[in-house]
Structure 1
């Protein structure tokens, strides 16, 4: 190589990668700001408290499956604790966590489409729209979106591995796949299992000639992930029985129960819902139709290849570009399975739709962009006509879907079980705790809490010493008051996070609850009615009567001290932080 060749090579690399880096930065920034804008709006007690309280617990020194249990969201709460540690404990930092993942997801989508030959403009377009449907509908950290992020990262790495010709890079990616799979699984089991199955199929087909080398790399990654988990298990002192029951047994039982419901009802309900809201879910029908059309073209090649050379050539090109189209359909399938198997709002389960549309667009470009007519004029006209029509349909549908999603879902915050209307929710500015200053208030109609009630709770515990147990959903109060989280589960959801009252596992859980009251020397019981009177129980319909031992304790030793909106503060006459003589410990 001549001395001047190094300069030419450096300039070539710079020219190739500078636009991509610039666009990636724009996607990251726009994805973050867009998610922050909407993510700050609204408060749903159960959803908005989970990861916030989980991060606070980790910062306070608590350990999952030792001090508290949870069926998922392990990785999100550790990440939240880390971000709280860096930037402080407040609502802006909480929303920033979700917004960063939204921006990173846009960047991943951009480079993913580039792997399949997407132009800078096309990849940027679909990556930008992906930020509309990924984290923005929820707006705050949640296990579902984290699982989707790592599941997509897993698929991204698998596709990168089969596309690269560098043996070392291929090996490093293969080693990393089990680690990314574990990260997704520790966020949430679904959609992880669907993504892992897809990756397994991709690798099995694409690397069928190098299965031994692939198996070695995957085994090395699996071993590394397993050893890391084993080390953490022993270092953190995790209770195996709690891990078995609350991370595997209860979620598995919930999954089995939902499967029967899915087969009997939810499948048809979801289809009907998507049809009635076609403005939001039109990509499902569009990609499916184009997928079926592409498959038909391939079949036609074999049926009439002997008499129609044009169809034969078209079928050949379709075969070559069929993988992105198949992948697009599988992305929609993952979204659909997630929607029908979870209890979430359907609009929160479709973050892959614009990736699917992007892959479909690239596949059609590959087929119709290589028309081999003998007449250059005919070829040029045919190419431009077909590609222009297809691009108009796909880009127009994408913009229409994104606009409707922004207006109907993100702007209204409907995923959180209420409809936010700026004019309706505008009113006298209510005082709120300083840590919640970034929050724009809006809540479900059945919830009676206000920012002022939160402020009065915080003020109360600034004036009174002693820990409290919250029988409610707004566990953000533990961090806001600086008190240790007492609940032995991260959030209330019978059958999922804690045993149902009639379950053989319930007595052991109730013993854990009472032991937690003693361990943290609880002086106050705070009862929050997330659903308005006459119901007065948590979002998942848990109330004081659900725990007979706690109910008996409150009836015998408790008296109502304060009442703030949905919150009732009960002081225990003989609290756990006093000895039998009544002296404070």
Structure 2
């Protein structure tokens, strides 16, 4: 290639490339934001889509996590969402703007990280662009796992910088961002923590001494801050331990034990192919074989072995994290595809470390073909929400956008768009508080009614203690009943079949004993409880 354009491939930066790189970063941010904002407004998954909305709405109303409500995940995304509600108002646009801005930021951080790992502008820009397509658009709305991955990537980026000369802001940032990731969702954080060790292992002895000195200082500051915050807000630390560690670890170990060779094999086959008949896997793996063979032939006589080994190790780590993440969370595999993108990126960096020629660039065309297929068959269809989005059930005005409403089939069976409007009309004209039991807790914030169920979402033994924690379950149900009394709940709204509200049997008995009136709001069952006798 002409020396005039060699800076596009080489890892070094210079003054000449600064304007271009700044423009690329701005372009990635704008594209990532607008791209996700478009896809966020098609289709909706009630269970996962309501968590951060409800959490943000609660915090906006003065509720404090682990004191006024409990959750095993989603604390930080909810806190951030409360700020978006405060600034932009409570509604769909401010909700989707949150995830869209994070998607744009992901493109920028990805670009900067690949550049800091001696990737050329062309490689870093390509991976950054691909990340904005694979990261948030599959789900669209603020999602706890996706936020966790974002903070994990930011932490790893700082770890890479720290390996070249650790400073306090590096070590503090690494631990702070890892904590942010953990407070979003535990699994992605724990899977990628080894990456910090891999990247820091490249440090020289002088840097290691600084790291060993600065890490304990940074950790003590962060721990002290959270202990002080817990004391000032009167949070019971035993509740924090149960919901953040004990309950999730039980579910996590149960799911890890359920992983089989067959599960991993099916996930591996699905990394590339959305449909095996399309031949995407064959194209990708043939390309890898050719490039690896060429790299061996054109390998450098001398190269930075420590850097190359770290890049190869990171590639394997992201591959493993993507597989385990999908198997443990039991999400659609496409939600974890961004893990595989970073695995691919670090493999390209490894090839670049070894080869005399820019052979890694030959992998970009087949990679972008796969990304284009992802755009067509995943993002445009809302596939990860268990639906094939062709046309909306209806339109919800969310100025200046139109929200194209559609739910997965299992939700459509018990909730329709007419129920959405019927509940909002009922809640807005009705005095008194409402307790909503169901996936669509976003309805409370949209109608201006406070959310009072003690758990951030309704999932026994995952979001609140059920049969696996019988003593805790008794206490939780008592808290629900106390909440009804203390908050003078006038109406209880039940989404779906009440008999399937497992783990809330005593609460249902309480409803029956204190029922004053029972009626339907569309497909939603409404119970008016006896306010005067509670």
Normalised TM-score (structure 1): 0.81
More displaced 10-residue stretch of structure 1: 343-352 or 56-65: 343-352
1:446–1:263 CA distance, 2 compared to 1 (3 A): closer
Match runs of 1:135-174 below 5 Å: 135-164=136-165, 170-174=167-171
- Residue matched to 1:500: 466
Q: CA deviation at 1:460?
A: 1.1
Q: In structure 2, list runs of 5 or more residues that go unmatched.
A: 1-12
| Match in the other structure for 1:359 | 346
- Aligned-partner Cα distance in 2 for 1:34–1:418: 20
Paired position in structure 1 for 2:221: 224
Distance 1:280 1:35 in 2: 28
Counterpart pick for 1:513 among 451, 469, 480: 480
The answer to whether the 8 A contact 1:544-1:550 is kept is no
Secondary structure of residue in 2 paired with 1:447 = helix
Given that residues 156 and 174 in structure 2 are in contact (C-alpha distance below 8 angstroms), is that contact kept between their aligned partners in structure 1?
no
Contact 2:284 2:366 (C-alpha < 8 Å) held by counterparts: no
Match of 1:473 in 2: 439
Deviates more, 1:453-462 or 1:432-441: 432-441
Q: Deviations over 1:6-44 (max 9, x none)?
A: xxxxxx976442211111000000000110111111122
Does residue 1:564 correspond to 2:533, yes or no?
A: no
1:321 to partner: Cα distance: 3.5
Distance 1:437 1:118 in 2: 38
Asked if the contact 2:164–2:203 (Cα under 8 Å) also holds between the matched residues in 1, the reply is no
Q: 2:405 aligns with which of 424, 441, 456?
A: 441
Q: Give the equivalent residue in structure 2 for 1:177.
A: 174
Compute the RMSD of aligned alpha carbons: 3.0
Deviation at 1:316, TM superposition (A): 3.8
2:14 paired with 1:17: no
Cα drift, residue 294 of structure 1: 8.5
Aligned: 1:116 with 2:117? yes
Instruction: Tell me which residue corresponds to 1:126.
Output: 127
**Structure 1's 517 and 568: CA in aligned 2 closer, same or farther, altered over 3 A?**
same
Deviations 1:235-272 (CA, angstroms, capped at 9, x unpaired):
11112232222222110111121121114763344335
Asked if residue 252 in structure 1 is aligned to residue 222 in structure 2, the reply is no
Q: Which runs of 5+ in 1 are unaligned?
A: 1-11, 298-309, 370-382, 530-535, 581-585
Corresponding residue of 2:490: 523
Evaluate the alpha carbon distance shift between residue 545 and residue 318 of structure 1 in structure 2; reply closer, same or farther with a 3 A threshold: closer
Match of 1:405 in 2: 374
Secondary structure (helix, strand or coil) at the match of 1:77 reads helix
Question: 1-side partners of 2:90 and 2:100: how far apart?
Answer: 16
C-alpha change, 1:434 and 1:353, in structure 2 (3 Å) is closer
Aligned-partner Cα distance in 2 for 1:551–1:346? 36
- Contact 2:308/2:354, CA 8 A, preserved across alignment: yes
Q: CA deviation at 1:285?
A: 7.0
Which deviates more, 542-551 or 21-30? 542-551
Partner of 1:186: 183
* Aligned partner (choices 435, 447, 454) of residue 420 of structure 2: 454
State how many pairs are aligned: 516
Change (3 A) 1:332 1:87: same
Alpha carbons 2:295, 2:354 under 8 Å: kept: no
User: Is the aligned partner of 1:58 residue 2:25?
Assistant: no
1:93 aligned onto 2:87: no
Which of residues 415, 423, 438 is equivalent to 2:384? 415
Distance 2:196 2:283 in 1: 21
Give the C-alpha shift of residue 341 in structure 1.
1.6
Larger Rg: 1
Question: How far apart, in 2, do the equivalents of 1:334 and 1:545 lie?
Answer: 32
SS of match in other structure, 2:525: strand
| Matches of 2:502 and 2:456, distance apart in 1 | 20
2 CA distance for matches of 1:255 and 1:294? 40
Cα pair distance change 1:267/1:462, threshold 3 Å: same
Q: Deviations over 1:466-512 (max 9, x none)?
A: 11111111111111221211111000112111122363221111111
SS in structure 1 of the partner of residue 436 of structure 2: strand
Structure 1 pair 503/123, CA: closer, same or farther in 2 (3 Å)?
closer
Q: Retained in 2: the 8 A contact 1:468–1:523?
A: yes
TM-score when normalising by structure 2: 0.89
CA contact (8 A) 1:207 1:214 kept: no
